Amino acid sequence: MSELRRLTAVRALFGAVLGLLVISAAAAGPVVVDQAASGVAMLARAGSGTAEKAYGGGQPQQASSSERDRFSEKKPTKEPMPPPLKQPADFAGEGGTSPTGPRVSAPAEMRTIPQLPVQLSSTALWDLDAEDDRWPEIGAIVREVVEGAGLALRQIRYRPEREPEPLVSRMPTARSLLVVGSYREFSDAEAQAVGNHVRTGGALLAIANVSVRYQRRMPPFNRILAEFGLAARMTRPGGAAEVADQPLTKLVRLQRLPAGLSIWGFDDWELINVGNEAVASAQLSQNGRVLVLDGGMLVAADRRVAGEFKQLLGNAVLWLIGKE
């Protein structure tokens, strides 16, 4: 009988203690379990010292087999990865800033630039007036070639205080050639306007030219080129020239080029290269055409280089307006 009384007293004491614990827990609020910390601790014991150091220090311990099984069960099931976007093999990375390997030539029948049966207006939009960085000389050559192709020029004047985005307010609705140079600030809205103009059947002749003193002008110019997956960079060394076999390069015979700008792009037709760097590139964008070239070669000290680039420019204008 004394043993029964002792068991009864122990049960009563245990019940009282349990009641006090419940009351204390209710007063303290709900208990929150840090599942992330638990998972990290388990991961650390499974062999990852990095996670252990990041979340609280201490030496990682080897996990038991049961802990490894529980951790594996908690891992989310991986979905199959989608195939990577297709892009040229030589543009594999580096933040999208430079080619990473030799260019692989496509079969001859795929390297020819396709024809677009689009005839443009006889008036070209002209945004190439500047007074520094050799732009007067470059502009005079481009103007001579464009007017020699039978086009009248409609000039756009960039006035930052009165009309800071003239390519937005004065973009024509007719399919026409737009001539721009890297001599001023271009806004995002202007870049989008140029993109829309080309994709709906217009054409763009983009002349890249910048010296170190004016290099801040290149990023705004690249806003326009980015509409077509292109960019101009101040990275090209001089060297032996490689001229593609295209109608656009007819009568162009170049052997060596001085250092200058390079044209980077996806799915473009590189017309002239020095090593892995393009000096002039053509691009199709839906119903429109784009051509970008290093304008500094038009005023190169070597007169033969300047003359050959003027020939390339003449071919390019005829291609852009559909008269090739």
Instruction: Supply 142's token pair.
Output: 């481009």
Q: For residue 28, is it within any domain?
A: no
Residues 308 and 186 in one domain: yes
Write out pLDDT tens, residues 19-58: 444 444 444 444 443 433 333 333 333 333 333 332 233 3
Whether 113 and 270 have beta carbons less than 8 Å apart is answered as no
Residues 161 and 53 in one domain: no
Q: For residue 16, is it within any domain?
A: no
Average pLDDT over residues 289-293: 97
**In this predicted structure, which of 31-35, 131-135, 237-241, 304-308 has the lowest mean pLDDT?**
31-35
Residues 141 and 241 in one domain: yes
Whether 305 and 257 have beta carbons less than 8 Å apart is answered as yes
pLDDT confidence of residue 119: 79
Write out pLDDT tens, residues 56-78: 333 434 444 554 444 344 444 44
Structural domain of residue 190, as residue ranges? Answer: 117-320
Question: What separation in angstroms does the CA of 104 have from each of 158, 236, 273, 279?
Answer: 41, 19, 13, 17
Residues 144 and 270 in one domain: yes
Whether 278 and 284 have beta carbons less than 8 Å apart is answered as no
Residues 43 and 157 in one domain: no
The larger pLDDT score, comparing residue 153 to residue 18, is at 153
Residues 143 and 54 in one domain: no
The larger pLDDT score, comparing residue 51 to residue 227, is at 227
Amino acid identity of residue 114, one-letter, is P
Amino acid identity of residue 166, one-letter, is P
The larger pLDDT score, comparing residue 37 to residue 263, is at 263
Q: For residue 269, is it within any domain?
A: yes
DSSP 3-state percent helix, strand, coil across the chain (nearest 5): 40, 20, 40
Residues 56 and 133 in one domain: no
Whole-structure pTM value = 0.67
List all residues 6 or more positions away from 14 whose beta carbon is below 8 Å from its beta carbon. Answer: none
Q: For residue 238, is it within any domain?
A: yes
pLDDT confidence of residue 324: 72
Q: Across the strands, what pairs with 124?
A: 153
pLDDT confidence of residue 244: 95
Number of domains comprising the chain = 2
pLDDT confidence of residue 315: 96
Band (pLDDT 50/70/90 cuts) for residue 116 is low
Residues 246 and 143 in one domain: yes
pLDDT confidence of residue 6: 53
From the list 309, 182, 295, the residue with the least C-alpha distance to 241 is 309
Q: For residue 105, is it within any domain?
A: no
Q: For residue 142, is it within any domain?
A: yes
Ranges of beta strands (E only) in the chain are 123-127, 152-155, 177-181, 203-208, 230-236, 239-243, 256-257, 260-265, 269-274, 277-285, 288-294
**What's the CATH number where 231 sits?**
3.40.50.880
List all residues 6 or more positions away from 104 whose beta carbon is below 8 Å from its beta carbon. Answer: 88, 89, 90
pLDDT confidence of residue 205: 98
**In this predicted structure, which of 105-109, 115-119, 144-148, 276-280 has the lowest mean pLDDT?**
105-109
> Residue 132 above 80 pLDDT?
yes
Band (pLDDT 50/70/90 cuts) for residue 161 is confident
Band (pLDDT 50/70/90 cuts) for residue 8 is low
Residues 136 and 54 in one domain: no
Domain boundary among 48, 72, 96: 72
Q: What is the dihedral of CA 311, 284, 193, 227, to 10 degrees?
A: -100
> Residue 200 above 80 pLDDT?
yes
Whether 71 and 45 have beta carbons less than 8 Å apart is answered as no
Provide the CA 130 distance to its chain's centre, in angstroms: 28
């004065």: which residue's tokens? 170
From the list 270, 266, 256, the residue with the least C-alpha distance to 300 is 256
Instruction: Supply 149's token pair.
Output: 């192709």
Backbone angles phi and psi of 61, in degrees to 5:
-115, 150
Q: For residue 93, is it within any domain?
A: no
pLDDT confidence of residue 173: 85
Residues 63 and 121 in one domain: no
The larger pLDDT score, comparing residue 184 to residue 22, is at 184
From the list 172, 242, 159, the residue with the least C-alpha distance to 202 is 172
Average pLDDT over residues 268-285: 95
Residues 42 and 185 in one domain: no
Q: For residue 127, is it within any domain?
A: yes
Average pLDDT over residues 268-281: 95
Residues 129 and 266 in one domain: yes
